[in-house]
Chains A and B, each alone.
Chain A
Amino acid sequence: MLDKTALTEMMRRMLRIRHFEEAVINLVERGEIVGAAHSYIGEEAVAVGACMALRDDDWMTGNHRSHGHPIAKGGNVRTAMAELLGKRTGICKGKGGSMHLADFSIGILGESGILGSSIPVAVGAALGSRLQGNDRVAVCFFGDGASNEGAFHESINLAAIWKLPVIFLCENNQYAVTSSFKEMVASDNISDRAAAYSIPGVLVDGQDALAMHEAVTQAVARARSGQGPTLVEGRTYRYYDHSLGLGRIVRDSYRDDDELEQWRQRDPLDIHRAHLIEQNIATPEELDALEAQVKAEIEEAVTFARESPYPDPSEVWEDMFADPIPLE
């Protein structure tokens, strides 16, 4: 079971994501963040519950909804925020932006905006562990929408036949832009698809960080001990529109306010907070203090990002090849 430190850390990381994302909304509205920014608010328990079941040296890949994953894995919010503002000090030196927080220092092998394409990369990282004889596992995060891409099905079959240490983690927030997964996925649950590949598939309450943690802990144990992959589906909901910037051309009517309200009633941060208080792990005052601390941390990250310089135009040429060749 998780001790007090871990349970509190879980809360801290969820708060970090929430306040990071709220700062992002503000910066998008002010025009300081331009382009697409996909909010993770409402889904915090999925990434945090999962990542707290990993070791620091485990691998992870993600997708376009990419702010929550690095923060959940313990990443630095300053360099993440700087990347969103396209600054030199950002994780990818401003080249990537919101959809590409590839923080290799914490085992993130890339957050790709091309859906499905980072799934085989996680399988490859797991193959690397096998070939190198270590027990590092790989987790790939992807949405309900991306689970319909061919790359997902090819990868999960390969990982299953080779019994690779990989966890397929579907963040089922039930929509892909405007398309409901109920219309786009033939089975009732995405986790049901595991049966076709003869691996375990588990459907988890994605609003409950502890439930996510437990499911992923089991999947990790299975992977580390050489028994192969697991498909974990965290059922969750995004509170905001698909994207805050690009793509938000009209407000969508694809889901109704009641549905959103029902999910808000089961807010992942509220659920975890209530748990900590009920179990006498933390007092409301302590949790308020933690939140204040996180808020200050995010404010500082915004300041850092704002004050950081833009990349020099000449950097457009940088890092093209491992051994630089003359370009022009």
Chain B
Amino acid sequence: MAVKSVIEAVREAIREEMRRDPTVFVMGEDVGARGGVFLATQGLMEEFGEDRIIDTPLAEASIVGIALGAAFRGQRPLPEIQFSDFVWPSVNQLIGEAARSCYGTNGAVQVPMTVRIPYGGGIRGGLFHSQNVETHFFHTPGLKVVTPSTPYDAKGLLKSAIRDNNPVVFLEHKKTYRLVRGEVPDGEYTLPLGVADIKRPGNTLTIVSYGLTLHYCLEAAQEVAPEGIDAEVIDLRTLTPLDRETILTSVRKTGKLLIAHEDNVTGGIGAEIAALVADQAFEYLDGPIARVCGPDVPTMPFAQTLEDAYIPDPTKIATALRRLAAY
């Protein structure tokens, strides 16, 4: 075991999968000699050459569209969108094409493509470098959506995503890249898509989260623990497939649910989980389902005070936990 950062874990997963399977290739802006703006592909061009680590012009629509075509022809493309805010030109290819390829061809076509996208805020990226885009893909049947929060999960899930025969949107919270470090086994391992992870077992209430906010939830749980609030913290890890059983089992045990995410509150992942629990665990509930999420504004504003106002941070989560525990 060695302690690694999220970005190191991502890079290791890419390297191992490229060694394992010659059909895997990376394409994107500045991914070659520079190794990507976050250095996810640093050193890979030296090992795999320019044919498998391909620098592209600025052309997101074509990056994903070309990857899709290559996937149809038996390659396993791993395109990178430089920041999630720039994914919009490629949404036609992702939502309009990739998501319905298998369905529309009655399974004749498979799309073994994983689109890696650094996303999320809290880094003073302002209006154009902070966005949470997961809900759009979560809402789209036909796409798998992965949102790891730790180096261990990032590596194991990315390896599985690359091996998956469906289009996967792999979202890496860019604030976790260097901030979050953790143990990563030296040997080969993968983690299945669609299985949540209980990051903190507890009995008084259930918190469901993912990505950077998961860490804020753990901090908040720690903060309220001395007050006798023993929160169970579930890391979804993948949004699609959604691990409904883990959520329901926990809520049936604790009777209380709080969902926290950075993406906008309305129509977000939290809304879906609230509906799920209201539908299938209603009689177990002991309090209202609470959400601590990004407000309904287009994306994170730049000013420190406004960014702080946006982010569901440990303080806001702890306040909501106390309110919920009091029921």
- Partner-B contacts on A (CB < 8 A): 34-36, 64, 86-88, 90, 93-100, 112-116, 145-146, 148-151, 176-179, 183-185, 246-247, 249-250, 252-254, 310-317, 320, 327-328
Q: Evaluate contact between B86 and A315: CB separation under 8 angstroms.
A: no
B134, CB-defined interface residue at 8 Å: no
| Contact A96/B123 with A149-B89, A185-B57 known, Cβ cut-off 8 Å | no
Q: What is the distance, in angstroms, from B6's C-beta to the closest C-beta of chain A?
A: 14
Closest to A36 in B: B129
Residues of A within 8 A of B59 (CB): 148-150
Q: Is the interface on chain B under 10, 10 to 19, 20 to 34, or 35 or more residues?
A: 35 or more
B105, CB-defined interface residue at 8 Å: no
| Contact A114/B88 with A94-B303, A313-B306 known, Cβ cut-off 8 Å | yes
Q: Evaluate contact between A35 and B57: CB separation under 8 angstroms.
A: no
Closest to A177 in B: B30
- Partner-A contacts on B (CB < 8 A): 29-30, 33-34, 37-39, 55, 57-62, 85-86, 88-89, 123-129, 295-297, 301-306, 308-310
Residues of B within 8 A of A113 (CB): 85, 126-129
With A116-B89, A150-B89, A316-B301 known, 7 other A-B pairs at CB within 8 A are A100-B128, A115-B86, A145-B58, A148-B57, A178-B34, A179-B29, A328-B296
What are 12 A-B pairs with beta-carbon distances under 8 A? A95-B303, A100-B302, A113-B126, A116-B58, A184-B58, A249-B39, A253-B33, A254-B33, A311-B301, A313-B309, A316-B297, A316-B301
Q: What is the distance, in angstroms, from B7's C-beta to the closest C-beta of chain A?
A: 10
| Contact A311/B39 with A115-B86, A178-B33 known, Cβ cut-off 8 Å | no
Residues of A within 8 A of B89 (CB): 116, 149-151
Between A64, A95, A112, A317, the greatest number of chain B beta carbons within 10 A of the residue's beta carbon is seen for A95
Residues of B within 8 A of A184 (CB): 55, 57-58
Q: Complex Cα distance A165/B327, Å?
A: 64
Q: Complex Cα distance A97/B62, Å?
A: 29
Which of A86, A146, A310, A312 lies in contact with B58, CB distance below 8 A? A146
Which of A95, A249, A317 lies in contact with B127, CB distance below 8 A? A95
Q: Evaluate contact between B57 and A310: CB separation under 8 angstroms.
A: no
Q: Evaluate contact between A86 and B57: CB separation under 8 angstroms.
A: no
Between B126, B296, B301, B308, the greatest number of chain A beta carbons within 10 A of the residue's beta carbon is seen for B126
